Amino acid sequence: MRIAFLTAPEGVEETELTAPWKAVEAQHWIPQLVCTAPGRVQAFRHLDKAGTYPVDHVLAGDTADAFDALVLPGGVANPDALRMDERAVGFVRAFFEAGKPVAAICHAPWTLVEADVVRGRTLTSWPSLATDIRNAGGTWVDEEVQVCHAAPAVLVTSRKPADLDAFCAALVREFADTRHSAAAHT
């Protein structure tokens, strides 16, 4: 399975990128860092610069076709930049339209709100996004991890870095379940 990790060039919360990345690699799936610009992504530990990570794929007019699932790491600046980029918003929307699973943590649901894919879904996030999610037609819950099976795509969400163990376990389980379901229908 090829898993897209979508980020802006700067502002992704490092642990929200690296922990799910390692969970994907542990399954022998292929993580791909997809960015709106070439080069390297500058990660942060809250407000302090952290490591940089090489971009595997620059977002252009892409759809979900090249990938089996999508992970949206948080950080405040990262999803704020992504929700202002039409290519990123369209890329996220394409996963939902294709019925492919998506996982988002912390502030990442801002991009989901912009893509207009939270209506009728139950999800969690960093608490400051609760009103945005409700205003976009979603139901916000304060849970460590929330899995929403509303058609057409599974959505896994978590609130913060402290929830990463539950988030990674849920995304691995749901991505694997979706993979097995898709294989059974082909």
CATH code of the domain in which 77 resides: 3.40.50.880
Domain span including residue 28:
2-179
Return the beta strands (E) in the chain as ranges. Answer: 2-7, 10-13, 30-35, 40-45, 48-54, 57-58, 69-72, 102-105, 122-123, 139-140, 145-148, 155-158
Number of domains in the chain: 1
Residue 35 belongs to a domain: yes
d(CA 69, CA 42): 23
Of 106, 168, 180, 185, the active-site residue reads: 106
Burial class (CB in 10 A: 0-12, 13-18, 19+), 162: exposed
Residue 186 belongs to a domain: no
Residue 65 belongs to a domain: yes
pLDDT, residue 36, reads 95
pLDDT, residue 186, reads 42
Count the neighbouring beta carbons within 10 Å of the beta carbon of residue 175. Answer: 26
**Contact 118/134 with Cβ under 8 angstroms?**
no
Residue 185 belongs to a domain: no
107 belongs to the catalytic site: yes
57 belongs to the catalytic site: no
Residue 77 belongs to a domain: yes
Tell me the sheet residues that pair with 157: 104, 146
Residue 70 belongs to a domain: yes
Residue 184 belongs to a domain: no
Of 35, 57, 107, 180, the active-site residue reads: 107
pLDDT tens for the chain, residues 1 to 186: 999 999 999 999 999 999 999 999 999 999 999 999 999 999 999 999 999 999 999 998 777 899 999 999 999 999 999 999 999 999 999 999 999 999 999 999 999 999 999 999 999 999 999 999 999 999 999 999 999 999 999 999 999 999 999 999 999 999 999 765 555 444
pLDDT, residue 185, reads 40
pLDDT, residue 180, reads 52
Residue 153 belongs to a domain: yes
